[in-house]
A and B are shown apart, each in its own frame.
Chain A
């Protein structure tokens, strides 16, 4: 066992994946010599060389577009988009090419591409460095989206994502990069289906808090601080959603509060609310409630503590759910 930060856990997972499979490449802005602005790729170029750890030109569509060609050639590129707000220049390549080439080729082409995106807020950053863009991509058939909430999951999930034959968006909650946990770096890789399973991280009976990435810790703290018996479910996979685990939880508790950083309007919480309402209509004691970012552009950093869901915002929603 080793005590690793989430950043180091992803770094270690990437190194393991690259040692096991010579086709795995890492590419992005500043990922080589610098080791990435969050140091997630630190040391990889020294170990694997410039041919496998590529400092790309500063052009995000180019990162993803050339990764498509490398994947066509049999490589497995792991692309880093430096910050969430910079993924949009690559939006076209991701949604019209990466997501569709397996289908367009009747299965002949494999888009084994991982797109790593440090995402979410909470670090006092300037504009375009705190976004939660998952809903744009969850709406796009052909993509898979996963997000770890802790170092143990991060180490395993990055390796599973790299091994998976479908393109995977890997959202890294950047404000949790420095949180530590004991990680077994010799653990065997679990089957890929596990990558898309949600996990009940705290058992409870009064209400379910469904969350992912940075909000898992927030929800756990809220549950621990509260007198009610709250269940916390870490979604882990946003596309596909593990509805079976979510529905099983809500069927027991009768109440669901979905918590995410992204704006509530058109967010994944809406998709989850609709699906859970359909599946659990007779078990629900209250409407599915959503706690998320306000429907405004991510605010200046001095306001982000107000914007981001926190312990009190989560429990305020639980109050409302319990009042029905």
Chain B
């Protein structure tokens, strides 16, 4: 049972909410910055709980919860400049939130109204990628493009402990290394790939794999928002300076199920969950800001109200989300005109029009 990150774990805020020093990494936050981090963490957890509830009520087909990984995601996203591109998996709801993607927009993919949902350029946040590990190569290619543009720009790509076994991730490490690509490989090791524990993926700590490819690897406490931001910031600065990639292993825990279709009681113990609950990423920030007088009970209450409002927004907007028009499946399959698409779209429109209770086939909103 992996609970302890070992002696090489970079930590700046203990699970008890005590600030500690590290010889290589430091980050000082002012009071506003602390409050922002706390609020982000609370909002993301609420977002996640709300989406899980919407799935239980039949409004979503599936949801992939990020509970437990909020600090890893918020800390990494805050380390990046707004113009720098993030390549997520399908669980980076915390990063999406920090990047300003409306949580309702995230729901479309899981409700089944879209295969994407947002413009990657608008938020500097790429689309969710469901095939495990594919996005690591996209990020490296994007970083190679940044090199060719002469941009001092970092790129961050997410993947998990399960994805670390994928060939594409190994290839991404090679391509990034030989090109000195300005990319940060951000591995959220949440200990479980659905039912398979870390021991089924690796015999060495994941961050140590970087050495074999010729770039640095760091293991950070993924439940410590301060340490994650500090470590990712350093990796990004290295990337922007043209010194190549870094592997950051955020040692964390998937507190919930893999997805809402999963039953973790079949493969892991409640004792493990309890041990990790003591390392909760939000509780330690709350303990720190309350103890140090950065936040009082009234402000914490306001945050709870804003979280409640977010939940209400998600509930009502999700239920109001229309099904796409049937013929919309033909849109954007190709960028240019295509005879098969044109023929099949026309056929579907005509076919559907033959029904007396026909849904609207063409463009625009379909049936709700």
Contact = CB atoms under 8 A, between A and B. Distances in A.
A33 to B, nearest CB: 15
B171 A97 contact: no
17 contacts: A51-B148, A59-B175, A65-B134, A66-B137, A69-B143, A70-B145, A72-B126, A73-B142, A73-B145, A102-B334, A103-B115, A105-B116, A106-B116, A108-B121, A141-B333, A142-B333, A240-B338
Contacts of A68: 137-138, 141
Contact of A61 (B171, B334, B337): B171
B332 interface: yes
B174 interface: yes
Interface centre among B127, B148, B178, B331 (most CB of A within 10 A): B148
A110 interface: yes
A105 B340 contact: no
B139 A92 contact: no
Contacts of A97: 129, 131, 134, 138
By size class, the interface of chain B is 35 or more
A212 to B, nearest CB: 17
The majority secondary structure among interface residues of chain B is: helix
B142 A92 contact: no
A170 interface: no
A57 B131 contact: no
B301 interface: no
B174 A59 contact: yes
A93 interface: yes
Interface in B132-173: 134, 136-146, 148-149, 167-168, 171-172
B336 interface: yes
B335 interface: yes
B82 to A, nearest CB: 17
Given A69-B140, A69-B145, A72-B120, A57 B175 contact: yes
Nearest to B115: A104
Interface string A239-252: 01001000000000
Contact of A92 (B131, B140, B174, B336): B131
Interface string A57-91: 10101101111111111110000000000000100
Given A93-B168, A97-B134, A166-B335, 20 more contacts: A56-B175, A61-B168, A61-B171, A65-B168, A65-B171, A66-B144, A69-B143, A70-B144, A72-B142, A74-B145, A93-B134, A93-B137, A97-B138, A101-B127, A103-B331, A103-B332, A103-B333, A107-B335, A108-B119, A144-B334
Contacts of A108: 119-121
Interface in A5-30: none
A65 B172 contact: yes
B339 interface: yes
Interface of B: 114-116, 119-121, 126-127, 129, 131, 134, 136-146, 148-149, 167-168, 171-172, 174-175, 178, 331-340
A93 B136 CA distance: 11
User: 3 tightest A-B contacts by CB?
Assistant: A69-B141, A65-B137, A73-B145
Contacts of B143: 69
